Amino acid sequence: MIQPEERLIAALAALILDPAAPVARHIAVGAASPIPAAASWLVKLSGHDVRLSLLHLQRGNPFTEGTRELFDLAGQGRIDLFFLGGGQIDGQANLNLIGTGEWPGTGARFPGSFGSAFMYLMTPRTILFREEHSPRVLVPKVAHISAAGVSPPGVFRRGTAQALVTGRCVFRFDGARFHLASLHPGETADSVRAATGFAYTEPAGVPQTPDPPPDQLALLRGPVRARMQATYPAFCARVWGDSVA
Amino acid sequence: MIQPEERLIAALAALILDPAAPVARHIAVGAASPIPAAASWLVKLSGHDVRLSLLHLQRGNPFTEGTRELFDLAGQGRIDLFFLGGGQIDGQANLNLIGTGEWPGTGARFPGSFGSAFMYLMTPRTILFREEHSPRVLVPKVAHISAAGVSPPGVFRRGTAQALVTGRCVFRFDGARFHLASLHPGETADSVRAATGFAYTEPAGVPQTPDPPPDQLALLRGPVRARMQATYPAFCARVWGDSVA
Amino acid sequence: MAFVALADLAARVPDGALLAIPPDNSLTPAAFARALVRRGVRGLRLLGVPVSGYVCDLLIGAGCVASLQTSAASIGETGLAPRFARALAAGTLQVTDATCPAIHTMLQAAEKGVPFMPLRGVLGSDLVPHRPDWKVVENPFAAGDPILLVPALSPEVAAFHAVCADDDGNVYVGRRRELATIAHASRRTLVTVERHYPGNLLEDEAMAAGTISGVYVDAIALAPRGAAPSGLLDEYAADAAHLAEYARAARSDEGFAAYLAQYVTLAEAVA
Amino acid sequence: MAFVALADLAARVPDGALLAIPPDNSLTPAAFARALVRRGVRGLRLLGVPVSGYVCDLLIGAGCVASLQTSAASIGETGLAPRFARALAAGTLQVTDATCPAIHTMLQAAEKGVPFMPLRGVLGSDLVPHRPDWKVVENPFAAGDPILLVPALSPEVAAFHAVCADDDGNVYVGRRRELATIAHASRRTLVTVERHYPGNLLEDEAMAAGTISGVYVDAIALAPRGAAPSGLLDEYAADAAHLAEYARAARSDEGFAAYLAQYVTLAEAVA
């Protein structure tokens, strides 16, 4: 049986390999991001020539200057693709990691902006990922902007969001707005519309998000899991059970 | 018999310990500076609580980021005293390490400015040192300014030259001009005046630069030499002979 | 440099000090923070470099903190920092939000002794209007190119937990070289270590690259397992169960008080 | 990353490239420079980081160099760089003078991906009017405080000689951590090493702190004693006699030609 997380991993991997996007030769993955990390491993272990910089790798961490080196790498233009999320995400792909209510989050307080305000503008491709897909998260307009989805002309920016993957669907982002691209099993155009606070375009006949094929599932449950185990033991146990395949 | 270099070392050490100046708790010594290095060791080995950062120490070099760390240290205000010289030095304590003739030195070419343009302004105390004392070196006005001796109001500057030690004498600098402070043996006010291209004040009855007392000589020829040997073997052999005291 | 007792190290942080702290996973000074709680320090202005975790949350919960500048507050996989959230909601903690590279850049400006440094990105974020100490200017080298400038920030005190220290005050941080910048930028640096290193770390070619020179270090105390419940390089792993226990307990005032009593006030009172 | 032959490494430097080189005492790529001479590279624009020594003088003397940006040119204790001085006097070398921290700062700006960075000091130096690429501005954070801004500088190629490299392209530079900034700032980095390291340097806690990640490294060649006549950390000391011999020989065209023939063209032609 295919786990929902496995489908999300495969959807992210397909976006990483999107032939219409510039090739991602170097992918960085931030803290506490098991599904983006697994997607990146899936791409690499499928035989693609890609470098992974995993910030929270316990052994063999590639950085000798901590997170500063990650941000310098992005500043140099050496990171092709990064993943971001948000407590709120709006239809202009703005991210809110601050909170709701008055600044700095007198309503719900989110953890904080981390490096999003920088990485979003310095990375040619950003894939947004947020499992919770509800009107509370996907809002018409974020209460506070941690990282801006689009920038006016003249502002130095290497790229915008490429897509947003949620627990219900995949949206593509064209630099101005979202388009519904595929529905996960059990979802309909109506169910997604009801769960989404922002406006997006919805083509006729939205396809279903494909299941990972057997060879991908085998990679996920074997080699990918093995790379993930030390950093994300709880995630691995939840998705793949206690025994290593 | 006291070597001329020993007297210069002692003169520099006396300036380092000048009770009228702010205490030097951290002294840095740049490349190829055996006499300033020996003076700094003499101060330290005389029992004064001072940290020495010797850029060209072969073993146990204190820097793990090379010369950048030295300049950052100075930027932070953690270096109290530094030594500089120059192919030309003028009466406003300007230093020329570029050369003569048209920029960048179509006449005589000096090695270049190194870090002088920065260190001179960032260090509370600078002791200038140049063995050659001639009208060619001590000029009315340097051909090119590598590092400015004085700065107009508003320019961030922590200090100026404290003194200039040459092979003939010691000048003090008051932030605007030089004053003849002591004459090395064999020199007179007249001989120094004839050898100096810039104007300076000359009090009546200029004292002689004192000889290092026996305890300083013993320190120099023993423990100081031992610290210098690995970095400056040629200097040690020239001043103190081949056998270690 | 003579080692001091952990309590004496904590005594060197004055009330109200601007104190820089690296987060979980980056040589965080956990034992030192517990000593600060026992010392009863008040009014700290904390700087998370660049984010804050268990240590800052503990200090906030114990009433030691007046303000926090950080790019995020979270503990382990839970993603929450309960005492931080509680103090923010109660209005007892002044929070200044930043973004990670801005904090690194403000410290690097202090490290170089310049009054400011530019940083790409960030424009369009609501961080900018909420940071009157940051400025957006035109790039003087290219027309029509706005860029953020952030000011130099010199913490009064930096504290972290390293592997070992020698008698010259040199401390070994291994691959976590970014700790050097915190030390360079701060006026005073207090370090706890697992153990004493016999000899001089900077004279050992194998150790020198991961060593911060004693020129930046003001005092050192021994604190075996001093980063726990966080991990320390290859010395020991993080104690995820303890961090989860903390995050659970700290959701309530009573739970936090019990945690303090069990792990901070009593357990290490003899240290 | 497969190791390449030294000659193949030299072939990766195109004529006219902006090439960053660390000086004597800082992992200088001497064997690589000799291979560049044999390759017959022309029109190099050299950057001494932050000064230049034997390697740059050799390349200048061999006719490989069109221009040099440096904070000083000197070799060993002699204090002179004969071929540099000769080419400057002959008008065949365009020299751009800098000061050490300005070169570090220009590279750090490139390392951070910002278009410029400020630097204290330097004001009042005649370097400023001779560097139209530098700007003096008012500090936007304080009135009446002029400060120098220097632009980011990204060398096309950086080259240095390290201790060892592994199959992932990670290279060990030990305590000379400033080499990391050169690699970070440059578009391509070519490295010679004493030897191959079996295993992964970044997975070895004892080596990681002194390691530059392969993410910054484009190609590697073996070159035992590749820094000589300069020294390499604790691997071997500088050969002061050889440097003095070079400085003497290079005072005349004939002497330099004889040096080239003896130590460069013939001696390592098989390498």
Say which range, B126-140, C167-181, D41-55, D76-90, has the weakest mean pLDDT. D76-90
Q: Which phi and psi angles does B59 have, rounded to 5°?
A: -115, 140
- The mean pLDDT value for D57-78 works out to 93
- The mean pLDDT value for C199-203 works out to 94
- The mean pLDDT value for C160-184 works out to 96
Residuewise pLDDT in 10s, chain B (245 residues) = 899 999 999 999 999 999 999 999 999 998 778 999 999 999 999 999 999 998 877 666 788 888 899 999 999 999 999 999 999 999 999 999 999 999 999 999 999 999 999 999 999 999 999 999 999 999 999 999 999 999 999 999 999 999 999 999 999 999 999 999 999 999 999 999 999 999 999 999 999 999 999 999 999 999 999 999 988 888 999 999 876 54
Residue A58 has pLDDT above 70, yes or no: no
Q: How many CB atoms are closer than 10 A to CB B49?
A: 8
Q: Which sequence spans correspond to the domains of chain D?
A: 6-99+157-265, 116-151
How many Cβ pairs within 8 Å bridge chains B and C? 39
CA D190, D194, D198, D200 dihedral sign is negative
Q: Is residue D72 within 8 Å of D142, Cβ to Cβ? A: no
Instruction: Say if the Cβ atoms of C97 and A112 lie within 8 Å.
Output: yes
In chain C, what percentage of residues exceed pLDDT 90?
93
pLDDT in tens, A82-115: 999 999 999 999 999 999 999 999 999 999 999 9
**What gap in Å lies between CA B93 and CA B105, rounded to an integer?**
20
- The mean pLDDT value for C18-38 works out to 96
Q: Is residue A30 within 8 Å of A114, Cβ to Cβ? A: yes
In a domain, B179, yes or no: yes
pLDDT at position B54: 87
Report the run of H or E that residue C195 belongs to, with start and end.
strand C188-196
pLDDT at position C270: 47
Q: How many CB atoms are closer than 10 A to CB A174?
A: 12
Distances (CA, A) of D140 to B72, C119, D32: 22, 15, 44
**What gap in Å lies between CA B181 and CA B176, rounded to an integer?**
15
pLDDT at position B58: 66
- The mean pLDDT value for A42-56 works out to 93
Instruction: Say if the Cβ atoms of D141 and C114 lie within 8 Å.
Output: no
Pairing of strands C18-21, C157-165: parallel
**What gap in Å lies between CA C188 and CA D216, rounded to an integer?**
34
In chain A, what percentage of residues exceed pLDDT 90?
88
A87 Cβ neighbours under 8 A, 6+ residues apart: A96, A97, A98, A99, A100, A108, A110, A111, A137
**What gap in Å lies between CA B234 and CA D243, rounded to an integer?**
14
Distance from CA of D249 to the nearest CA of C (A): 34
pLDDT in tens, D197-245: 999 999 998 999 999 999 999 999 999 999 999 999 999 999 989 999 9
C101 Cβ neighbours under 8 A, 6+ residues apart: A68, A71, A75, A115, A118, C50, C119, C121
* Neighboring chain C residues of A116 at a CB cutoff of 8 Å: 99
CA A211 and chain centroid, separation: 18
Choice between D99 and D271, residue whose per-residue pLDDT is larger = D99
Residue D225 burial (CB < 10 Å; 0-12/13-18/19+)?
middle
pLDDT in tens, A125-146: 999 999 999 999 999 999 999 9
Q: Reduced to 3 states, what is the DSSP secondary structure of residue B198?
A: coil
D115 → closest Cβ in C113, C139, C234: C139
Cis peptide before B104 (omega within 30 of 0): yes
**What gap in Å lies between CA D210 and CA C205, rounded to an integer?**
10
Q: How many CB atoms are closer than 10 A to CB B167?
A: 17
pLDDT in tens, D144-170: 999 999 999 999 999 999 999 999 999
- The mean pLDDT value for C243-258 works out to 96
In a domain, B198, yes or no: yes
Interface predicted TM-score (ipTM): 0.96
Q: Reduced to 3 states, what is the DSSP secondary structure of residue C242?
A: helix
D159 Cβ neighbours under 8 A, 6+ residues apart: D13, D19, D20, D21, D29, D32, D33, D189, D190, D191, D192
Residue ranges making up the domain that contains A191: 4-240
Q: Is residue D24 within 8 Å of D42, Cβ to Cβ? A: no
Say which range, A149-158, B31-40, C48-57, C93-102, has the weakest mean pLDDT. B31-40
**What gap in Å lies between CA C60 and CA C77, rounded to an integer?**
20
Residue C124 has pLDDT above 50, yes or no: yes
Q: Which phi and psi angles does C164 have, rounded to 5°?
A: -155, 165
pLDDT at position A61: 75
Residue labelled with tokens 């530079």: D173
Q: Reduced to 3 states, what is the DSSP secondary structure of residue A202?
A: coil
Beta bridge partners of D18: D45
* Neighboring chain D residues of C201 at a CB cutoff of 8 Å: none
* C-alpha torsion A35→A37→A38→A41, nearest 10: 160
- The mean pLDDT value for D23-35 works out to 95
Q: Reduced to 3 states, what is the DSSP secondary structure of residue B55?
A: coil
* C-alpha torsion B138→B140→B142→B148, nearest 10: 90
* Interface probe, candidates D213, D216, D217, chain A, greatest A C-beta count within 10 A: D213
Residue D132 burial (CB < 10 Å; 0-12/13-18/19+)?
exposed
In the chain, the amino acid numbered C82 is P
Structural tokens at position A12: 């992210």
Residues in chain B: 245
pTM for the predicted model, two decimal places: 0.97
pLDDT in tens, D247-263: 999 999 999 999 999 99
Structural tokens at position A203: 């083509």
Count of domains observed in chain A: 1
Residue D36 has pLDDT above 80, yes or no: yes
**What gap in Å lies between CA C182 and CA C190, rounded to an integer?**
11
Q: How many CB atoms are closer than 10 A to CB D39?
A: 18
Q: Which phi and psi angles does D95 have, rounded to 5°?
A: -110, 130
Taking the alpha carbons at both ends of chain D, their separation in whole angstroms is 20
| CATH number of A229's domain | 3.40.1080.10
* Neighboring chain D residues of B116 at a CB cutoff of 8 Å: 99
**What gap in Å lies between CA A125 and CA A23, rounded to an integer?**
10
Instruction: Say if the Cβ atoms of C174 and D120 lie within 8 Å.
Output: no
In the chain, the amino acid numbered D84 is F
C210 → closest Cβ in D119, D145, D209: D209
Structural tokens at position A114: 């981390």
CATH 3.30.200.20 for the D6-99+157-265 domain, yes or no: no
Q: Is residue C90 within 8 Å of C37, Cβ to Cβ? A: no
Q: Is residue D1 within 8 Å of D219, Cβ to Cβ? A: yes
In a domain, A126, yes or no: yes
Instruction: Say if the Cβ atoms of A75 and D209 lie within 8 Å.
Output: no
Residue A207 burial (CB < 10 Å; 0-12/13-18/19+)?
exposed
D270 pLDDT tier (thresholds 50, 70, 90)? very low
Report the run of H or E that residue A190 belongs to, with start and end.
helix A189-195
Choice between C237 and C77, residue whose per-residue pLDDT is larger = C237
Structural tokens at position A76: 């140099």
B72 → closest Cβ in C184, C208, C209: C184
Instruction: Say if the Cβ atoms of C180 and B64 lie within 8 Å.
Output: yes
In a domain, B245, yes or no: no
Distance from CA of C102 to the nearest CA of B (A): 19
In a domain, A245, yes or no: no
Q: Reduced to 3 states, what is the DSSP secondary structure of residue D76?
A: helix
* C-alpha torsion B38→B39→B41→B43, nearest 10: 160
Distances (CA, A) of C174 to B56, B109, C161, D163, D246: 24, 44, 12, 18, 39
pLDDT at position A56: 75
Q: How many CB atoms are closer than 10 A to CB B194?
A: 10
pLDDT at position B61: 75
Q: Is residue A155 within 8 Å of C124, Cβ to Cβ? A: yes
Say which range, A149-158, B49-58, C233-242, D67-76, has the weakest mean pLDDT. B49-58
Distance from CA of B62 to the nearest CA of C (A): 6
Distance from CA of C269 to the nearest CA of A (A): 32
In the chain, the amino acid numbered C161 is H
Residue A198 has pLDDT above 90, yes or no: yes
Q: How many CB atoms are closer than 10 A to CB C221?
A: 25
Q: Is C123 on the interface with D (CB under 8 A)?
A: no
Neighbours of C, requiring at least 3 CB pairs below 8 Å, are: A, B, D
Residue D271 has pLDDT above 70, yes or no: no
Instruction: Say if the Cβ atoms of B98 and D79 lie within 8 Å.
Output: no
D113 → closest Cβ in A62, A64, A77: A77
D221 Cβ neighbours under 8 A, 6+ residues apart: D3, D4, D5, D6, D8, D9, D32, D190, D191, D192, D193
C85 Cβ neighbours under 8 A, 6+ residues apart: A109, C73
Distance from CA of D270 to the nearest CA of B (A): 33
